[in-house]
Amino acid sequence: MENTDENSKLLSRYIPIANMIVENFGKHCEVVIHNFNNINSSLVYIKGNVTGRKIGAPITNIILKQLRKYGDDAEDMLGFITRTKDGKFIKTSISFIRNENGKIIGCIGINFDITAFAAVNQIISDFSKTNDFNKVEWELELYENNIEEIFETMIQMALESIGKPVNQMKREEKLLFVKKLEKKGVFLIQGAIDRISHTLGVSKQTVYNYLGRDVK
């Protein structure tokens, strides 16, 4: 059984590092610590205010996707660009934290708001390693304060990619919808099967069938 107290102690060692980073880089910088014991409310420490989140906020879609794809073999993600729903460009680095057995138990993340630098090519070059900000590759990252907002946004994004409402979907399209969400790590979230079966108007057994899994 996983020792949650030991994990919490290990994660707490990163708090002074988080404080130091924000004190050094100022108001455009935010550092967060996530405890993956409960990904529905994984944010256990935050210093600075870039994404508007509070303690108890859920894991982001970007981290979910990485964990779903690689599990405990996930590598750190350093210096990539994301964009928030309100249009901010954020330069982000995420370092996964492991216990003595090599299991990922959480992460520390640095979020630096580079939006204000968009009109200054030289500064953008320093921070995002590009001379043309419009050509920067970025991915939408969902910095939400509760897991329902994560669910709703990811469901809407998947629906938009299908291009038609649920009541007009054929079986193949519902299967594609589920697969899209699965690739993004949605089913790592507790209660996801129930929520998606309700959204699609199908049984949990059907969702498990779409995923190629046995019913739990």
Residue for token pair 């004190």: 23
Mean per-residue pLDDT of the chain: 86
Q: How many CB atoms lie within 10 A of CB 164?
A: 11
> Is residue 79 within 8 Å of residue 91, measured between CB atoms?
yes
Strand bridging mode 77-83 / 138-140: parallel
Residue scoring higher pLDDT (130 or 170): 170
Fold of 4-145: Beta-Lactamase (3.30.450)
List pLDDT tens digits, range 51-92: 999 999 999 999 999 999 999 999 999 999 888 888 888 999
Which of 74-78, 91-95, 115-119, 205-209 bottoms out in mean pLDDT, i.e. has the lowest?
Answer: 115-119
Distance CA 71, CA 98 (A): 12
Mean pLDDT of 160-179: 88
- Can you give the residue ranges of every domain in the chain? 4-145, 149-211
When computed from its CA atoms, the radius of gyration of the chain, rounded to whole angstroms, is 19
pLDDT band at 125 (very low <50, low <70, confident <90, very high): low
The residue type found at 162 is: I
Q: Is the pLDDT of residue 135 over 80?
A: no
Query: 29 forms bridges with which residues in the sheet?
Result: 112
List pLDDT tens digits, range 19-57: 999 999 999 999 999 999 999 999 999 999 999 999 999
pLDDT band at 190 (very low <50, low <70, confident <90, very high): confident
pLDDT band at 147 (very low <50, low <70, confident <90, very high): confident
